Chains A and B, each alone.
Chain A
């Protein structure tokens, strides 16, 4: 039973990572940039939900909606103001700008909400499900997180396969110049990608803080790094890869925590990542790109 509990907790944590990793992987696939500020968008989303429920006494669905809208607008603004002017610049310039944006968001949050951690009230007020006469306890947060992950996954898969915008996104990630020649508005497509990624970040932030209820300006950075690792783990640029990478990372982390060492769990997670990348340098589901001579 212990094993099963850990597995379920791992899937729960992994689902959060997967949702965050989706944002990283979509942006990477299309804009070919590492959006380091993504982790901080998560934090903003969580704070928005916190404020809406605590100060405005809004119902939970409305609070989540507000968080999503704010994060979407934020994502599009960040892209338009900071990343768009650098579309033709080197990848390092974009990386440093993303780091600048990340500092900016963290310090803005520090100014507005202070450095003292806030206790996030879970958005799922049901407690836990008890199975097998109390031997297996699954919190509703975990169930909701996993369900949300599945819904998002199916939704995104359908969206990128079926819709015109989704097709445009795939075309842009395949070949930006060719897509532009076919009449696709590349800038608009990239903006939409950022919007979707940021909205997902808001959901991830709310779910993350429901399970781990400490909210600080730096809350987003470590899950951000881990989710980014998950995206690379699964093969960056691949949406199913982000899902797989996120889930595996969550499971490995929980197992390492409960069976090996709590303190060394991060080292183990990153160690597994390194081994995977050495065996399969493009990640689990990544495409191998032929090298041109």
Chain B
């Protein structure tokens, strides 16, 4: 009898995650290029992918690191606007939109990572709800500052101002990129579904490898018992900060991708509600469950679209579904019922396999 090679649960989970994303691409891409998808669905593909990346990256902070962050949209915002500025600045020198998108996503990620470093150093000293409120505060501060920021470009380079567009002193051929409360205007839409899928795969690659690495195990140890982890010589601050910065970088990349799917993006878009929305995706998908994050994001993002038929009531129904799911999944009786049902199914499958051999 040939010995079956045992596949670890990590590998199964990884294959599930990558497989799902690739499958989604293989199914949706031909549909999109054939024009079968209507405009509203087609236009949602890139935002969904950006949100999936956001959920994956937030799962790193909230799930693996165990710290509640309520300002994740702030990092997305930093990435979005630095990304847009980069793309516009490069529009003359780099002709290929794919390359421009790539560079802008990398720059967006880097700036968000720096923001993550600046915010992470003070924030990670705090615990629990205090950490949550400070991340919320940082998210609001980032939104507020970008709301007052004016950026323009002309032959002599980039110009910044905190007052208004006249203060930019642009020459005649100059162009305003970031116009205060109106946000980034006149963005060239260079984000594509293919690029978005690649970004998800990249995020999966980073996060899945990270959590199964030495760093990931250290992060999990810190989450489960900080004092015990510290006493066996794990540098708590270093690992926490590493995870936090990577999470911020991925959020920034998602932001850069997201912004370049629209012609205008305002800082107001990346507010507290967006942070909460992503958190809802992560919690409903399951902590430390990347596969769940992807599924939950896709379903919950599409849910209001699917409920469009009942237009006025859709957000109400959404709220009720949210509450109902939380109540049901935390109800002991329902849980026990699901557990026995799953055990039965597994038992039957195992029994069939046993019968065949």
Contact = CB atoms under 8 A, between A and B. Distances in A.
Nearest to B315: A107
Interface string A258-293: 000101101100110110011001110000000101
A293 B323 CA distance: 36
B316 A111 contact: yes
A103 B140 CA distance: 20
Contact of A264 (B148, B322, B323): B148
A270 B122 contact: no
Given A82-B323, A99-B322, A111-B313, A228 B330 contact: no
Nearest to A263: B148
Given A82-B327, A277-B134, A281-B125, 17 more contacts: A28-B129, A85-B327, A92-B68, A92-B287, A100-B322, A100-B323, A101-B319, A103-B315, A103-B322, A104-B319, A111-B312, A229-B136, A236-B129, A267-B144, A267-B145, A270-B138, A277-B126
Contacts, number: 113
Interface in B133-165: 133-134, 136-138, 140-141, 144-145, 147-148
A86 B330 contact: yes
Contacts of B132: 34
B145 A229 contact: no
B284 interface: yes
B88 interface: no
Contact of B330 (A85, A229, A261, A264): A85
Interface string B177-192: 0000100000000000
Interface stretch (B95-103, B104-112, B275-283): B275-283
A278 B326 CA distance: 33
A281 B134 CA distance: 10
A58 interface: no
B233 to A, nearest CB: 16
23 contacts: A34-B132, A82-B323, A86-B330, A89-B330, A92-B283, A96-B279, A96-B322, A99-B322, A100-B319, A103-B319, A104-B323, A225-B140, A229-B136, A232-B133, A264-B144, A266-B141, A273-B137, A277-B126, A277-B130, A278-B125, A278-B126, A281-B126, A291-B227
Interface in B317-353: 318-320, 322-323, 326-327, 329-331
Interface string A67-97: 0000000000000001001100100110111
A93 B148 contact: no
A229 B130 CA distance: 10
B122 A34 contact: no
Contacts of B125: 278, 281
Q: Determine the main DSSP class of A at the interface with B.
A: helix
B156 to A, nearest CB: 27
Interface residues of B, number: 43
A93 B147 contact: no
B272 interface: yes
Nearest to B322: A100
A274 B137 contact: yes
A62 interface: no
A266 B168 CA distance: 24
Interface in B260-291: 272, 276, 279-280, 283-284, 287
A108 interface: yes
B126 A100 contact: no
A267 B141 contact: yes
A93 B129 CA distance: 14
Most buried by B among A101, A236, A274, A291: A274
A224 to B, nearest CB: 10
Contact of A267 (B140, B316, B329): B140
Given A85-B330, A107-B316, A225-B136, A270 B141 contact: yes
Interface in A36-90: 82, 85-86, 89
